[in-house]
Structure formats: C-alpha cells, structure tokens
Amino acid sequence: MTDFSSLPSSSEFAHLWSIDPQAVYLNHGSFGACPYYVMERQSHYRQQMERHPIRFLIRELPALMDAARERIAAFVHASPTDLVFVPNATAGVNTVLRSLRLNPGDEILITNHIYGACRKAAAFVCEQSGAILVEANYDFPIVSPEKITEAVLEKVSSHTRLALIDHITSATGIIQPVQSIVKALEAKGIDTLVDGAHAPGSIDLNINNIGAAYYTANCHKWLCSPKSAAILVVRKDRQKGIFPLIISHAGHLEADFPERFYWPGTTDFTPALCTVDALDYLSGLLPGGWPAILHRNHDLCLEGRDLLCRTLGISPPCPDDMIASMATLPLPDPPRISLPDYKSTDALQDILYYEFGIEIPVMYWSSPPRRFLRISTQLYNSFAQYEYLAEKLKIALAMEANTYRLPGK
C-alpha cells in the first residue's frame, strides 16, 4: 500500500475512535465503529463475566439486560415490553419472517431497494412455504418520497400478507416514508416489517409513531455500540406468534415476550449492555446531545454530497430531507462490469483504497446494474476528507479507465 503520510485532517472527535489514522474512513454505514470508551466498557463487562461467570450471568445479568432494554426503548420511543435484543437487523428480519405461517399463494411485498441479505431471507421463506415474493420498483435518482408510497401501494393485492420495507435504504441511502406506508397498508389489513438497520442514531426515531407490526434496527451502526447489538420491536397484538431463531430455556410458549428472547444459550451479552454506554457517551460529546449529533452529521453529509455532485457534474439524486447520514451518488459506467459479491470489492473502490487511503463503498444497484458511490458521516469525519475524496475520485476514475491492476498483481 502507498505511504499515506499527508492525508487530510479528520475532525476534532477522531481521537475518540480507534479508526486507523492511515485511512480516510468514509464508510461508517457498513459496520459502524466503536469509540475507545465503549470498547473499554465492553472489556469491563467481559472481565466481570470471566472473573465469576455464575455471578455475572445468573445473578447480575438479568437486571443489567432489563436496564439496557429500558434505556434503548426510551431512546427509540418504544415500550420496553415490546423490545428484545437480537444480534443484528438481519437476524431481526429473519426472526419475523421465519415465525410467520405463510400459505401457498400468500405474498410478501418488498421494494427493489431492499437490503440484499433480507431479500434472500424473504425468498427463502417464500420457497419453503409456497408464498410469492412481489417487488415494487421505483428508480433512483428520485424526486419525492410520495413516489415510493405510490410504488408500494401499486403492488398490493388481496394476497399481500406482509410488506418488508427498509427505513433507510442501504445501497441508495434514502429515507423511505415508512410511516405513511405503514398507515396505508394497515388500512388494508396488511402488516409491515420495517428494517431500520441505519435508523437509530442517524434520524430522530419514534417507533411507536410509525406503528409497524414489526421494527428491527442495529445499535452497532450510528449508535456506535459493539457489533452484535440490535433490537427487534414487536407490537403487542403480534407478539404471540413471534419466536426467537434459537429456542432455549424459556421455550417457545413463554407468555412474556422479552423473556422468550432473553437467553439464546451461552453467548456474549456485552454488546447489548454497551448500548447504554454508547448512548450516554455520545450524547455528551456535543452540547445539544443526540439532536445536535443528528444535525451535525446530516449537514456534513449534504455538504459532502453536494461537493461530489459538482465534481461529477450531476444534480443531487434526491431531496435533502430524504438524506440522514448517508448519501449515494451515481458514478460513470466502468470500463467493464464485474459485480462484486458480499466478500469482495469493486475495482474503483480498490483504487481509492490502495492508492489514496480512502475507504468508501462502491456498489452496484438496479437492473441492469448501475454503479454508485455511497458516503457516510460520523463525528470523526471532516469536510476536508470529502474534499480529498473529490480530488482523488477524478484521478481514480482515470486510472480505472487505463486498466488499473491491484498492487502486487
């Protein structure tokens, strides 16, 4: 890898994270990143557990988990009796989908902006049950959120059993109007499962107001808790039929919904416990707490997006109010399309990383596939980093056109 001794300065908060100083890290959205303090708290919990496993896991853990559940429930405006911890939002989606009793001919409604893993989960349960996967399509760039609601409702039929809708889309980075979609579908007797993987900590989230039958979300992304911390919120009238992916000591007949999910077997509970530490720690970094963080990251995201739009000679692909802390931009077509999978990266992404130290996702979306660049903003990022990206992106595109090869190949 090239020596990156003169990278642009990150923000005044960067020293609180362990992000590699030899990287311009603009991809918080994929996996999140923990501040040092939160990692220290996780180490503290782990030391407690290993010092005396019985004391920690049997005597102390139940109260700690209840406290964490109540704290995160208050933050996302949900009832703690409706909320359980799951490893990630994909697990939350699978939990709901695999609990439903679908019949042949039932329909699960998704959009063409659905997260890839969740599309496959929905396809799996349809294959197992004889249900049908129906896709509502709308293009990107997009001019208004109403176009999304219209596209979803156009695909509703008398056989629609469930709609699986992303709150903030992964590939295209837009806020979908889930509250209006949920309301319209509820009027037709259709439940909605909202995949809010990117929502907590990037928008002002009120799950009760959304009113969905099911809502799942990650805590390890914008809340910056350790990996394997996520929530699943199930409305009280739907809890009876929802079971954890792992049936353990509580059994599947346990009437208390949180208790049903409490013990999946011996596992690491520290990521869930750290959600409290992450919430409290980050809220103290700016005078205005979490509202100030949301505002700061949103504004920086728009500034970075607009700069890159000027660099690429394009218009912003969606309205400002459809953006949270991520923004996706269409890129020129590559010399040849070689679609990366979930274990590989695009050639342009590799050039930006190996030649300029920039870590940013380059992805393909739509049919036929088109290429996009997605930026993310967290407190450790600075506008100077996006200026650096804009400068190097032009060079990287030219290098790609000249059949760039990875270093050492």
Asked if residue 405 has pLDDT above 80, the reply is no
Rounded CA-CA distance 245/267 in Å is: 14
Structure confidence by residue, pLDDT tens digits, 243-297: 999 999 888 888 899 999 999 999 999 999 999 999 999 999 999 999 999 999 9
CB neighbours of 140 closer than 8 A, spacing ≥ 6?
A: 113, 172, 174, 317, 318, 328, 330, 365, 366
Nearest of 367, 366, 379 to residue 328 by alpha carbon: 366
Asked if residue 349 has pLDDT above 80, the reply is yes
What is the DSSP secondary-structure string of 180-209? HHHHHHHHTT-EEEEE-TT-BTTB---HHH
Alpha helices in 237-328 (DSSP H): 257-262, 270-283, 289-312
Rounded CA-CA distance 192/43 in Å is: 38
Rounded CA-CA distance 294/378 in Å is: 9
Burial of 256 (0-12, 13-18, 19+ CB in 10 A): exposed
Tell me which of 401 and 316 has the higher pLDDT. 316
Asked if residue 1 has pLDDT above 60, the reply is no
For range 314-323, the mean pLDDT: 97
Please give the share of the chain, as a percent, with pLDDT higher than 70.
97
Strand pairing report for 191-195 and 160-166: parallel
- Do 65 and 273 meet the contact criterion of CB atoms below 8 Å apart? yes
3-state secondary structure of 216: strand
Task: Sketch out the chain's domains with CATH numbers.
Answer: 14-36+289-401 (3.90.1150.10), 52-280 (3.40.640.10)
Rounded CA-CA distance 269/273 in Å is: 7
Taking the CB of residue 384, how many other CB atoms lie within 10 A of it? 14
For range 226-237, the mean pLDDT: 98
- Return the structure tokens found at 38: 């939160």
Structure confidence by residue, pLDDT tens digits, 183-209: 999 999 999 999 999 999 999 999 999
pTM of the predicted structure, to 2 decimals: 0.95
Asked if residue 112 has pLDDT above 90, the reply is yes
**For position 71, what pLDDT does the model report?**
97
- Do 284 and 35 meet the contact criterion of CB atoms below 8 Å apart? no
CB neighbours of 301 closer than 8 A, spacing ≥ 6?
A: 323, 324, 325, 326, 327, 375, 376, 377
3-state secondary structure of 151: helix
Rounded CA-CA distance 58/101 in Å is: 34
Taking the CB of residue 225, how many other CB atoms lie within 10 A of it? 34
